[in-house]
Amino acid sequence: MTFRELNIKDAYEFTPRQFGDDRGVFFEWFKSSAFTEAVGHELELQQANCSVSAAGVLRGIHFTDTPPGQAKYVTCVKGAFLDVIVDLRVGSPTFGQWDSVLIDDVDRRAVYLSEGLGHAILSLEDGSTVMYLCSIEYTPTLDRDVNPLDTGLGIDWPTLARDGSPLEYQLSDKDRAAPSLAQAIEAGYLPTFDG
């Protein structure tokens, strides 16, 4: 397994070695020792999620009140997603910036984002399936959002699906009504950066 640090502090991309033959393919999509070596700490796991999306489904930008925060380790087991990480930690040197990774069923990359970072995924083909490990269980009272289409963030969302057809973004009512980054700053509910 190889890794690289993303442009956002405390976010990483992991690429597994794949072993294939005429029967199929095998790979380790998460390995604690490789993760700890790359990131510098263990990932305590308390929940695992699976989400299946049609092409154009845009989920996020989601984050959890910090503390306690929720770290995530995300991979795509079928189809393709653009995985976007946004630094929402006030005081961070990369505050308000974003980075992205194509996670798909070809390279089988995984993305890790630490507590306090925002997360969004855009499905690039029908039936795309993402699985992610979480450091804490989902707690609705801690759940927060920033609008993924906020022009102030300037996220470069793809306009074409994996097959080249145009994408029509589909957001939940909750995500569509989420505040902009500026509104979240004004409301004072963003996490802070602790170095």
132: annotated active-site residue: yes
Residue 112, amino acid: Y
Which residues partner with 137 through β-bridges?
none
41: annotated active-site residue: no
Distance CA 112, CA 176 (A): 25
The active-site residue, picked from 12, 73, 112, 132, is 132
Per DSSP, the three-state class of 171 is coil
Q: How many CB atoms lie within 10 A of CB 77?
A: 15
Token code pair at residue 81: 């997603």
In eight-state DSSP terms, residue 125 is: S
Which residues partner with 63 through β-bridges?
144
Distance CA 135, CA 43 (A): 7
The active-site residue, picked from 12, 62, 73, 112, is 62
Catalytic positions = 62, 132
